[in-house]
Each structure stands twice: as structure tokens, then as C-alpha cells.
A and B are shown apart, each in its own frame.
Chain A
Amino acid sequence: MHVAVILCSFTSISDGNGEQTVLRGVQTSLLSMYIPSKPFTCLDGSLTVPFEFVNDDYCDCQDGSDEPGTSACSNGQFFCENKGYLGTLIPSHFVGDGICDCCDGSDEYETTIVCNNTCFELTQKFQAVRDARRTLHEAGIAKKKEIIAKSKAITSERQEHFNKLEQDLNNLENDLKEKEKLKQEAEVPEYAAKEKNQKLWEENRAMQQVMVRDQQIREIFVDLDTNEDSLVSIDELQKHTELDINQENEFTVEEVRSILGSDSVNFNEFNAIVFEKISNSYQSSPEPTTPTLEPTPLPEPSIYSATTPSSILEKHGYEEEEVTTTSSSYKDNEEENNNDRDDYHESSSVSTSLEHEKHIHASLAPEYDDETKVLIQIADQARNEYNQVKEKIIQIKRQIQDFKKQSDVDLGPNNDYAPILDECFDYDEREYTYRICMFKTAKQISKGGSSQVTIGYWDSWSGPKDDKYLKMKYSNGATCWNGPPRSLTVTLKCGTEQKLSDVREPSRCEYTMTFETPLACDETIANRSLHPGHVEF
């Protein structure tokens, strides 16, 4: 039942019922609303009642304003005058409940219990607490200034470093352009020389091919010419039944003749007419003296050769992508960038056999001529220099990125918490050490060090609206068995030292810490002047 519902005006006023109204419980600022000679209007304006209804121990007003001095309304407020101390408002249901809530005991005026007036002691206590607080904040502020000064130096060093990095980056980027130009300049003659060499190899190779083919035809001709009359006749060819297109029946004379084109052919005719027809099916006579028909492998540019133009191009494209790859794969790419591919190959893989190595080398193109070698050397040098600069740029860019990321962290008002950025603090408890690295992570490390669990990663400032920087939130820690991910709330407190003073787990896997630090000290508290002996309420 809500008292409010029964709110309605009473129709008559009795004489005997209204209690003598002292304006008990009315706060000073509202005294003007309570004028004994006038009807009283509830402060919310909802009802006007005779003034006798004020503090008559019966709740008339919805807002409880007619009973500031009694417990009749559940939602009223009682003003403790608390002479010698602060005047305070307490819920009016504290009135007359046998518990001394006001230091002057005024809330228990109607009960038999005796409340000692504790206002003087309370004032002293209050002052002591306030002074201690002020002293603490004062000391804290001094420390804070020190820390911040130190940190400012560090910060400006860092800033300088950052500026330098940006400058370096700028320089390097210019340098890179230069180096690229040099590289390209060196690569042009190198390319030309290599092309020239390549061309020579290819001509040479073509000639070799012709010679090899000629040799093969000659060998086959000799092989077929079993009677050594310098002619290949039908009966000589007929022995090679593998040449029969229609394998099902006999290799007839007609069939043989259609291959030879006549009854017999000499070498030139054989070369011109017959060889092409039989080269695919022909099997040499059992004596394995004949070379195979397989063409001799031609020298090809090996993929392992770092000095062929194609591999350079390949790598060039790779490097272009490189800039955008993440730092985690950076190291691998660094290795990729190593120009000395053969070394890389040999040192990083176990060779399968010596023969194999030989074979590779045997199939390699002949060495470049000395002139080309010099050009390659020059170009390699230019590429190296280019890559080194590129490398440095990547590193610097990464540093700049990290730096910028850090500067995105909200480090509190005036960046006050910059000094503890990345700093770690430990708290030892019975079973665990708790370690928080500010604005990064918090961990629970079991004593003995056998295991550690992340209880949260930096998330945000999570204090109440009006005091956001009171609390830090670290969330998304390791997930609990059958529960949520662990999380941590750190409450910051002014202290003269930087330390964790309390760690708790009020709910399973939800941790709280108290972190004392001069950085949380408040200058306005520290600057409040002390007036010994004077209470300023």
C-alpha cells in the first residue's frame, strides 16, 4: 500500500489532535516554507494542509515534506542541526528508531534512549580525517610532481625520440629514392650484359641442339643399316616391328615401304624423309650403345640463381608487398630479402646428394663473362643498399606506429598517468602474486610460478560519470571454467607510494584491486588551507 494513494485532503480540523509543532528536522534553507501562521503546502505542491499537520506524526504529503521531524513518512528528510559539526540530512525514518544518527542526538528526541552529543568529537575526528587526507594529498602531490617531472623528462625524451624518428624516416625516404635510382641505373647495364650473355648461350645452345640431333640420326641410320651398305632397305627396317602403326597384324613390306618411300634410302634421304616418321617409335637394337632420343637438357636459368634477371624481378615484386605486411612476419621477410640465395639455400637446407648438386651446377649456364660479373656486382651492391634503407624505414615506421598507439591511450587528466604507462606492480597474497602492467595486462601468478593466468587486458577508464578516472577496467582475461572471461577493476587511491594495496575476487573471476599512487592525489584537496581550531561549516 502506498501512502501516496491515500493522499486526499481531510475535511475537518479537530482541535485536540494537532501536536505542538516545532520545526524540527527542517533544513535551514527551507525554513521559509514552513510558516506557522499559514497553511502548509507540501514542497512538491501536491497538497495544502493546515499548519498543525506539520510534524504531527502523520504523513500527509506525498513527498514527506510535512513530517521532516518525525518518522511518519517513509521518504522524508530530517535535518540534524549538529551544532559544532556539519548539519546533515538523514532519512526521516531514522527518527526515533532508537539509534543515534545525528551527532547531536536530535533524531532521538522522542525515544527514551540517551544519545551522547558526539558533535565535538566528530568534528575533531572529521578534522583529523580531513587533515590526514589533506596531508596525504599534499605529500602525494609533491611526489606526484616529482614523478610527473621525471616522467615529463621521459616524455619529452620520448617525444624527441619520436621527432627524430620522423626526421629519420623523412631522410631515409629521400635516401631510398636515391638508392632506387642508383639501383635502377646499375640494373640497366647489368640487364643488358646479361641479355647479351643469355643470347649467346641460347645461340650456342641451338647450335648444340642441331649437332646433337644430327648425331642421333646418324646413329640410328647406322643402327638400321645392318649390312653396312650405307643404305637402309625394306628388310632392314622390317625388323623393327615397333614401327608398325597397325600393331595387330604383320609388319608388311608395303607398310615398310610406305615409311621408306622407296625400297631403300641413303643417309640424306633418311634424314630428310624417314627420321621424322620413326623418331617417336624407334627403339634401338638390343645393344644399348645408342644414346637416347631424348634431347639433351638445355641449360636453363636456375631458380636458385640469384643473378638471373627473372629472379630479380620476382623479388622486386615481393618487396613491394612487403611494406604492408605485419611485423610478426617481418623476420621471415628479412630473410627473404637476403640476396645471397645460394648461400641461403645451401645453409638452410640439407643437400640431398653431391650428384644432385653437381647436376644443378652442371645444368647451369656457363659463367658470365667477367665484364658482366662486374656489372652484376655493382647492381647487387646497389640493390643491397636500397634494401637496407627500405629495411630501416620499416623498422622506424613500426616504432612510430607503436608510439602513436601509446599516445592514443587515455592517460588521465593532463596525462597524469603517463608515468605508470607500461609500469608493472605486484601484490602478494596467500596463494598468488597479482601483477598489473598498467594500461596493458593484469595477471594472476601462482606462488611457485607453476602457472599464470591473464585476468584482463586494458579496456578503459570505468569510474562513475563524475569521476571517470577513479577506476580502470581490464577485461577479456582468460575464461573461467564454466564461467565468464576474467576481468579486473582497479580503484585508484591517493597514496605517497605507488603500490597495490588490495586484491579481491568479490564474484567468481571478477577481480578488484586498489592501487595507491601519488598520481591519484588531488591538488585541490592538498591546497585546502588548514585553519587550526576553526570549523568552517
Chain B
Amino acid sequence: MKNILHLVHYIVVLFVLNIPSIENVDRSNFKTCEQSGFCRRQRKYKPDRSSYEIDLNTIKIVKSGHLRCLLLDNTKSHVKFKLDIFTLEHNSLRVKINERNPIRRRYEVKHSLVGEPKLVDMNITNLDGNQIQGSFGKAARFLLHVKPFRLDLFTNDMFVMSVNSKHLFNFEHYRKKTQSNKTTTDNDSEDGMWEETFKTHKDSKPYGPSSIGVDVNFINFENVYGIPEHADAFSLRSTHDGDPYRLYNVDIFEYDLQNPMALYGSVPYMLAHGEHATVGFFWMNAAEGWIDVNHNKNLFSTATKPITDNIEIPEVTTHWMFESGIFDGFFFMGPTPRDIFKQYTTITGAAPLPPLWAIAYHQCRWNYIDEDDVRGVLNGFEQHQIPLDVIWLDIEHTNGKRYFTWDLKKFPNPEKLQNDIAFYRRKLVTISDPHIKKDDAYHIYSEAKARGYFVKTKDGQDYEGSCWPGSSMWLDFFNPDISQWYSQRYLLENYKGSTENLFLWNDMNEPSVFNGPEITFPKDLVHHGGWEDREVHNLYGMLQHMSTFQGLVNRSHGHIRPFLLTRSFFAGSQRTAAVWTGDNSAQWSHLKVTVPMLLSLSVTGFGFIGADVGGFFSNPDPKLLVRWYQAAAYQPFYREHAHIDTTRREPWLFGNDNTRLIRQSIEARYTYLPYWYTLFYKQERQGVPPMLPLWANFPKDKNTFKTEDSFMIGNGLLVYPVADADINQISVYFPGENTIWYDLRTFNPYKGSETVLINVNMESIPAYQLGGVIIPRRLRKRRSSMIALNDPITLIVTLDRYLEAKGELYMDDGYTYDYRRKRQLVHRRFIFKNNELRSKSLDTSSKFVTEAWIERIIVLGYPKNPNKVIINSGDKHATPLHSYQAATHTLVIRRPGPLVTSDWTLTIS
């Protein structure tokens, strides 16, 4: 939603400070690596040789797929570490390193895991006294070097990753603070180990230093991706001349682009992709993190397979530093992009299929003022015949920012409002932030206060900070009882004025604390279990939205799929929430950066993602707004949103031409909903996000590895959003060798591996369908997605050079879990081959009744006008009419007519 613009007012009132520049983020509010004690120490740590070594005598197989040994630091005899290696299903490896006998238990993240990872056998061979080799999975292999400690990883006999080959592994064990701040053996007197001050905030650091650093190196790769959230390039940049990429969930005001500053969410997961392989490394750690990235060339040799002498191979070296926790690294061995998606989501879970309406168009604003305003906006959509599925209410709808309440002067009858909204099967989303207004008369506060449900200071008091409502407290979601209690607040009987047509938005959940250090929790706050915020910080937002999700599931007794949007997130958030990129700005550069930002989220498991259309802060000029509507029509989460200080932005306020252009963008989105929905289903099943980098579909096309001006939807649509103000030509690269791409407006074909200058005007949304793909669409218009459920489907068949194509269609009731519980779904496979188009079920045990039928089949690239088209379905057959346009090789089959649920074969002769 928003941010600290109002904090600014707030501070001015409270403390009479100067108003900082509103142009950009005030960087001085956030730490640099140098200002973060552990980052400073870890980044400085550069020994010639690692002092860590494996104690060979301790190696043992705990059970099948689990090897354990001790890791020693030869400079500190008293500190011992245990190292656990787990070989996991789907070509994955997990390595945990923890202190053997820490004086304080170290935090291990569990919430990211979708379940206990499944072990698979490892085949151990002791190569010599200094190496242990383990094979696992599909031609994957690890090589553990004993002295010094180092781990090399191979996939298909290719050396792909290496841990500690740069000797940066550095584990700060817990230690006792001596009176002089010095111990005999360790160099702990360094500034910032036992206390740190940032601006006016003191971090008491009662447990002293506890950080971990390690180098993870991607051999023979030139590009690494992921570790969101940063407003930066998709292919990560080298950080040697600046700060490392930071992972620390904070509420940042008017974020800058092209820099590694932390944003609202964190996913410590990095992928490397090259022509030969795709691999990934996920360090499950929720503390503050910093990651240095460097692109090098290196000479490499390994004991088992020396790489040709004198040949430099590229390498991306990365240096990971976390303030606390343990080393809990997952290595995904690929080797294909699709394998990687599967592997990562096997560990952290796949984003579930959202309700159909949630992937349609959303209209939001801070704030729709009252019921009349909401109705007026809905009427506007009616009047201008623009489809709409969801309307949103930001914080001002509440009674004084007391969530779960309504400002009854403005919203005297919220149930009626929701029922009216539901008339066209539309939905309402309200906001619910984690800060709880300190007010004894507020039922949520008083109950939580009485039960001791708030996060505590280091001294055990309820922590009090300020946010929208003024003085506030924060629920301690780390306590399962509190999470459960919180989830129950969403039940219809507890959330007065809510109905089953109301869904949720969790904002400010980094959490945002206006007067906290770096606008968030002090690190020495204490959560349930005695864990400091320092150890768990990046989980807070996720725990809130997980509770909200559970509440929404329980609200319908597990019948209706929730929808929920969160600003803060962590690895695993994708299982329960959609994510947006927070408070962006109405600038062309911000429109542009949506692609790299969303791709970074996509490849790290987040499929249901979007950016505020038009830009949250300030007023977009109409051209920018139109371009944004066009671009976002092809991005997963499609929501217009604007700051309270902006002028109104509903689609019809910019003149008839712009209204028409915006309407067309939204209509285009609706025509693709069957395709989107199918892709979201595939994501749930296979972990493949709907929005993809080009290399995910063309892994061998080097030209795509740094691409961030375009993206793909599924494997069939290539989208080049126009993101420049005055432009009448764009340069489009068509990926893949021997591919054909069809312009969906002109039906012009383009050849792959070529860059083409394409003319654009304001109508243009450059999108191309790959030859060889069949995309299901609904060309009929409706007021909302849910009332189009039974409308017929048009199949767009674009033929490849073998005159073949295939595609899928998934459908269900659009909003319940019946597709899981009762298998009420239809999942079809379409194959066009040898002049025949067949539809068959991909899920024969499924059953779903729908009137939806195939009304039209458009075949692009069909060489000649056929004589006859026959369709057979069971014992029925018909000869639908067809037309052929020789100039564009376009064959249109009119009303073939079968139900989408039926098997049929269409034969062209």
C-alpha cells in the first residue's frame, strides 16, 4: 500500500524534525553493509586458506540419505560444528552446519518447508583420505573435501557449484561476554559485536556475535538470478563496487531503482543458468542477510575430472552473510529450468491455484471513501463496459485503523455493500495490517493485551511502536496459539461486517514501525520461544499472512479458496499469498522495472505476483497509465492502485481514447484467462510459474540470459511491453532456433533467433504466440470472469515448422476446493499433428460439468485452404464450416461445437 509519507507527517508532529526529501528513499534510514556490524566483519574476512576442516573419524551414515560428521575450526579447538548432508528426492541436496554444543540454541527456520524433505539414497565412495564422494538422484554428485572443508557439486558430470572454494566460510560461534569484552582466543573485541547503534537506535545484542558467512560459487555460469526482493536487474550484477544485495524485510519509502537495497520481502534463493544447466542454492535463513555477487573467470581443476588446462571458464562467485541462525543450504541440481522449479517448490511448496476471479482485474485505491464512492466506481465500470472482478478498500475504511472494524459513518452497511458487489459475482478485498492500535476499547487490542499476545521487548514488556493508528503493538505470530487466535479473527462471526465475498490484504507486515530502527522492529525484540527478532525477522510477514490464509480457509470450512495479498514475504509465502512489489512510483522507469522484479520473484517460487498499475506514488501521465495497463494485462496479478495524494485514476478519467485503450487492455486480459488459469494450475502441480524468463523456455539461447525487457507467459506467449514514453518502434528478439512466432494482431509470422524492429502505436501490446502451441481463450466479453465460466472457448493453434502444435486447458468451478476434494475439474490436452486436432483428457478420473464448448479454432500457419473439415466426438460427427485467408495462412473453423469436457478429433483434409 503506502508508506511513510505519512510517517513524515507523523514524525513532524511528534518530534518536529525536518521533512526529508520526498523525491526518493532517504537512504540514510537504512544500513549499509559497513553500518551492519556482522556484514562489515564477514566482508572483511579473507583468509588465504580456510581454517575449517572435516574430522574424518566422525563421518557416519545416520540413515539412508543422511551423512553426518564434525567440522572443526583449526584456529579454535574448543568450537565444534556438526555437518549434516542429506540427499533429497528430485536431484536435491541439503547441507546443515550448526554448532555442536552452542551455549545458546540457534534458530532453524521451519515455516518455509512445505513438509519434511524426503531423503533418497546416497552412494558414498571414499576417494582418498581427503575426499568423500556421494552420488544421488539423477546423475548428481557431491564431493566433500576434508581439509580444508569444501563441497563441490556435479550434475551430469558437470562441475556446477562449489562451497568454500574461496575460503570464506566463517561461523561466529556463540560465546560468553567477558568483562573486558575480550576472550583469550577469539578476536571478539571488534566494534559492533556486543552492541551496535544505528542513528538513534541502540541494538543491545545480549548474545553477541552469531553470524555465518560462506561462499557459494557457480562454475561455468555467467548469470545468476533470484534473491528477491530488489528493484534491480534480473541477471544479478556484480557488487564489488558497492554494497552487497541485502535481504532484510523493511518498509522503504519511494524506493530507488537499480540498487541492492533491501525491500519488503526476502527469499534467500539464487539460481544460476547457462546453456548446459540450471542449478540453484537456497539458504533457509530468516535473519538479516547480505550477498555479494562477482562475475569472474577462473581456472578450475578437480581431483576427479580436471577441466582442460589453460582454459578459463566463467564463474559467478557469491558470498552469503547472515546475522544469525544456522547454515541450512539446499542445492538444486537441475539440470533444466523446469527441474529447478520442481526442485525448489518440492521444498518450499508451490503456489496454489488461485480463484479464477483473483487473476482477473482488480481496482484499488487508497482510498475509496465510502459506500457511495465504491458504488460510483462500480457504476463507472458498468457505464464504460470495462470488465472488473475485485474492488479494494484500503486502511481508511476502518474505524481509526482498527482492523476488523468499519468506519460505520462511511460504511454503514458493509454486508449489503458486499452483496451488491457480488451481484456481478465480484469480490471485495479489505486490508488488515499486523499493527494493533493501542486502545483498550478496541476488542482485538484488549483481548490480545490480556492474553499477552504482543511481541515483547528484551525486558519482557509489550513492545510499543507507532504505525498508522498511532501507538500500536504487534501480535507475536511465532506463537502457534496466537497465530490460531489471529486466524480466528477472520471467521465471519468474529469479523463483523465481513461476508464470504470479502478477501484480504496484509500490508505493512515487514513489519513497518514508523519509529523503529530502519522503520521496523528493533533486533533485540523477543518473540515466542525466546527468539530475538534478529534471528527470525524475515519470517514475520509470512507468519501473519499464513494465519490470515488459515482463517480464510476455516471461514468456509475448507470449501472456498482464499485470496490474500501480502507485501512482506519469505521463502514459502507463495503457498498462501499473492505478492506485489509494494510502493512503486508513476514513472516509466518503474514500469520497466516491473519485468525484472517480477521475474526475480517468479523464478524463486512466486507465481502470483504483480506491481501497482500506474505506479503507487504520484500521477502517471495518461500514456504511462495506458502502457502500464497494457503491460500488466500480461502479468500475473493485475491491480490498479494509487496513493491517497494522487488524483483519481479510474480507467475512464483520461478521455475517450485512453478509456478505450485501457478497456482493450483489460479485455485482452480476460480473453486469456483460460490460458492463465491453466498455467496457474500447472504451477500448483509442477511448480512452474506462469510468468517466465525467456531462458526458461529456451535454455540454450544465450541471447536470452540477460533479457529483462520481455518475458513469457507459459511456454506459448512472448510479451514485449512498451515501456518508453515516445517510441514508435521496438526491437523484438524472437528466441529459439527454428521457431516461428505469430503476431496476434496481424497474424504475421516471425522467425526465431532474429531481432526485428516492430512498429508500435498506442494500440500495440506486442505479444507473440510461439509456433507449436495451442492457447485456449475466451473471446467473448463479460462483466466479470466468474460469469463467463460457461462461455465457449476459442483455440488458437499456431503451427511450428512441422505443422504441429499442442496445448492444454484446465477448468473448474473457479472458486472452491472441489477440484481437489471431489476432482471436479477438466484438464484437456490438445494435439495438432498430421492435419488432425485431438482433444483428450489429461486427468481421466476427473469429472466436471460445464456447458463450455469450443466455438472457434484458429489455425495459424496452415499452408493451404482445406477441402473439408470433419469433427468426430464419440459417435457424433459434423462438418463445421471453415474459412481460409491465404495471405496470412490462417484457417478459421467455425463452430466446431464440442463441449470442452468431451474427447474429439477434428480432421482437416
Name A residues whose Cβ lies closer than 8 Å to a Cβ of B.
1-3, 5-6, 8-14, 16-17, 56-59, 71-72, 74-75, 91, 93-94, 97-99, 430, 480, 482-484, 504-508, 510
Q: 22 interchain pairs (CB within 8 A)?
A: A1-B744, A1-B777, A1-B779, A1-B794, A1-B796, A3-B779, A5-B746, A11-B881, A14-B878, A16-B878, A17-B880, A17-B881, A71-B781, A71-B782, A72-B780, A74-B781, A91-B385, A97-B783, A430-B409, A484-B647, A504-B373, A508-B644
Interface membership of B196, Cβ < 8 A = no
Q: State A11–B385 Cα separation when bound (angstroms).
A: 34
Q: State A127–B747 Cα separation when bound (angstroms).
A: 53
Residues of A within 8 A of B254 (CB): none
Q: State A123–B894 Cα separation when bound (angstroms).
A: 42
> B747 touching A97 by the CB < 8 A rule?
no
Interface membership of B60, Cβ < 8 A = no
> A10 touching B858 by the CB < 8 A rule?
no
> B780 touching A93 by the CB < 8 A rule?
yes
Q: State A463–B409 Cα separation when bound (angstroms).
A: 30
**Which B827-861 residues sit within 8 Å CB-CB of chain A?**
855-856, 858
Given contacts A2-B745, A6-B858, A507-B646, contact A13 B881 (CB under 8 A): yes
Residues of A within 8 A of B878 (CB): 14, 16-17
Q: State A13–B880 Cα separation when bound (angstroms).
A: 9
Residues of B within 8 A of A13 (CB): 881
> B892 touching A8 by the CB < 8 A rule?
yes
Interface membership of B58, Cβ < 8 A = no
Interface membership of B791, Cβ < 8 A = yes
Q: Of the listed stretches B170-178, B568-576, B882-890, name the one at the interface; the rest are far from the partner chain.
A: B882-890
> B647 touching A510 by the CB < 8 A rule?
yes
> 5 closest A-B pairs (Cβ-Cβ)?
A74-B781, A10-B881, A93-B781, A507-B647, A8-B883
Interface membership of B204, Cβ < 8 A = no
Q: State A130–B117 Cα separation when bound (angstroms).
A: 70
Q: Which residue of B lies closest to A110 (CB)?
A: B851
Residues of B within 8 A of A97 (CB): 782-783, 787-788
Given contacts A1-B744, A5-B745, contact A93 B881 (CB under 8 A): no
> B645 touching A93 by the CB < 8 A rule?
no
Interface membership of B879, Cβ < 8 A = yes
Interface membership of B667, Cβ < 8 A = yes
Interface membership of B22, Cβ < 8 A = yes
> B644 touching A57 by the CB < 8 A rule?
no
Q: State A465–B666 Cα separation when bound (angstroms).
A: 29
Residues of A within 8 A of B881 (CB): 10-14, 17
Q: Which residue of B lies closest to A74 (CB)?
A: B781
**Which B739-758 residues sit within 8 Å CB-CB of chain A?**
744-747
> A58 touching B647 by the CB < 8 A rule?
no
Q: Which of B369, B645, B781 contacts A483 (CB 8 A)?
A: B645
Name B residues whose Cβ lies closer than 8 Å to a Cβ of A.
5, 22, 369, 373, 385, 409, 423-424, 644-648, 667, 671, 744-747, 777, 779-783, 787-788, 791, 794, 796, 855-856, 858, 865, 878-885, 890, 892, 894-895, 897
Q: State A17–B879 Cα separation when bound (angstroms).
A: 9
> B787 touching A74 by the CB < 8 A rule?
no
Q: State A504–B372 Cα separation when bound (angstroms).
A: 11
Q: Which residue of B lies closest to A12 (CB)?
A: B881
Q: Which of B794, B855, B892 contacts A57 (CB 8 A)?
A: B855
Residues of B within 8 A of A56 (CB): 895
Residues of B within 8 A of A3 (CB): 779
Residues of B within 8 A of A91 (CB): 385, 781
> A14 touching B880 by the CB < 8 A rule?
yes
Of A17, A94, A480, the most chain B CB neighbours within 10 A belong to: A17
> B781 touching A506 by the CB < 8 A rule?
no
Q: Which residue of A lies closest to B885 (CB)?
A: A8
Given contacts A14-B878, A14-B879, A14-B881, contact A99 B645 (CB under 8 A): no
Of A58, A484, A510, the most chain B CB neighbours within 10 A belong to: A58
Q: Which residue of B lies closest to A8 (CB)?
A: B883
> A5 touching B747 by the CB < 8 A rule?
yes
Given contacts A10-B894, A97-B782, contact A1 B880 (CB under 8 A): no
Residues of A within 8 A of B5 (CB): 482
Residues of B within 8 A of A507 (CB): 646-648
Q: Which residue of A lies closest to B796 (CB)?
A: A1
Residues of A within 8 A of B647 (CB): 484, 507-508, 510
> A74 touching B648 by the CB < 8 A rule?
no
Q: State A93–B788 Cα separation when bound (angstroms).
A: 10
**A353 to chain B: closest CB distance in Å?**
51
Given contacts A17-B895, A99-B424, A482-B645, contact A74 B890 (CB under 8 A): no
Of B369, B671, B780, B882, the most chain A CB neighbours within 10 A belong to: B780
> A1 touching B671 by the CB < 8 A rule?
yes
> B779 touching A98 by the CB < 8 A rule?
no
> B648 touching A510 by the CB < 8 A rule?
yes
Q: State A483–B645 Cα separation when bound (angstroms).
A: 7
Residues of B within 8 A of A59 (CB): 779
Given contacts A74-B780, A97-B782, contact A58 B895 (CB under 8 A): yes
Of B779, B788, B881, B882, the most chain A CB neighbours within 10 A belong to: B881
Residues of A within 8 A of B892 (CB): 6, 8
Q: State A93–B424 Cα separation when bound (angstroms).
A: 13
Residues of A within 8 A of B865 (CB): 11
> A98 touching B787 by the CB < 8 A rule?
yes
> B791 touching A71 by the CB < 8 A rule?
yes
Q: Which residue of B lies closest to A60 (CB)?
A: B894
Q: Which residue of A lies closest to B897 (CB)?
A: A17
Q: Which residue of A lies closest to B649 (CB)?
A: A507
Residues of B within 8 A of A5 (CB): 745-747
Q: Which of A1, A9, A98, A430 contacts B883 (CB 8 A)?
A: A9
Residues of A within 8 A of B791 (CB): 71
> A508 touching B787 by the CB < 8 A rule?
no
Given contacts A1-B744, A74-B779, A482-B645, contact A10 B882 (CB under 8 A): yes
Given contacts A8-B892, A9-B883, A14-B879, contact A482 B780 (CB under 8 A): no
Given contacts A1-B777, A58-B855, A97-B787, contact A6 B890 (CB under 8 A): yes
> B744 touching A93 by the CB < 8 A rule?
no
Q: Which of B369, B890, B894 contacts A504 (CB 8 A)?
A: B369
Residues of B within 8 A of A93 (CB): 780-783
Q: State A8–B745 Cα separation when bound (angstroms).
A: 15
**A529 to chain B: closest CB distance in Å?**
31
Q: Which of A71, A74, A505 contacts B667 (CB 8 A)?
A: A74
Q: State A57–B855 Cα separation when bound (angstroms).
A: 9
Q: Which residue of A lies closest to B643 (CB)?
A: A508
**B898 to chain A: closest CB distance in Å?**
13
**B781 to chain A: closest CB distance in Å?**
4
Name 5 extra pairs, CB < 8 A, besides A1-B777, A93-B780.
Answer: A3-B779, A10-B883, A74-B780, A91-B385, A99-B423
Q: Which residue of A lies closest to B866 (CB)?
A: A11
